[in-house]
Chain A
Amino acid sequence: GENVEQHPSTLSVQEGDSAVIKCTYSDSASNYFPWYKQELGKRPQLIIDIRSNVGEKKDQRIAVTLNKTAKHFSLHITETQPEDSAVYFCAASINTDKLIFGTGTRLQVFP
């Protein structure tokens, strides 16, 4: 089955700097790659997603890139703010709704 690896497990940045989180997936048939943000004690919330027919998608300070050949996808957050501090999860699925999640990245943005 699908396996998703995520790095780094923790990431600390200064406010205003950029943060990059990377994921790799194993099944080349995967075609949907969402990113979820989870604040402490809260539910995971979708922040951005990308499908395999595009290579990049941007939404204000957040962007996601996808390299299908290498089976890599990345989350980029620019101009980080303290409220970006949370755990971020990548996920992959093969045209179904069963998402396989990465292990998460704890992002801390210091003022």
Chain B
Amino acid sequence: NAGVMQNPRHLVRRRGQEARLRCSPMKGHSHVYWYRQLPEEGLKFMVYLQKENIIDESGMPKERFSAEFPKEGPSILRIQQVVRGDSAAYFCASSSTGGSGANVLTFGAGSRLTVL
């Protein structure tokens, strides 16, 4: 089991460009979560998705950020027109269940976005 796979591990973008971060959950997991971690800070919830559905996007900025988890392929976190404040580590986590209480999250290694 390869665990939660994120790519790219490091991404450098100039202001105004787009950033796309990908996450493949653990085998058998159908629930994906994205968290953002600013330098020297904690993990902030962004969005929770199941296949083809956004369950909770209450932590997602209203503009420039979007997420999807298609029926086939990885989950993608997309940031349009990046600004320097978007520089952070973006962690994806997955779990096999939702709402049942048996919900252990496993994290990926993160994607570190640097905006120049």
Residues of A within 8 A of B (CB): 1, 6, 31-32, 34, 36, 42-46, 49, 51, 89, 93, 95-104
Contacts and interface: CB of A to CB of B under 8 A. Distances in A.
B41 interface: yes
Contacts, number: 62
B24 to A, nearest CB: 14
B42 A45 contact: no
A44 B107 contact: yes
B22 interface: no
A96 B98 contact: yes
Nearest to B106: A46
Given A96-B99, A97-B95, A97-B97, A89 B58 contact: no
A33 B110 CA distance: 22
What 4 pairs between A and B have smallest CB-CB spacing? A97-B103, A43-B107, A101-B43, A103-B42
B31 to A, nearest CB: 6
Most buried by B among A31, A34, A43, A97: A97
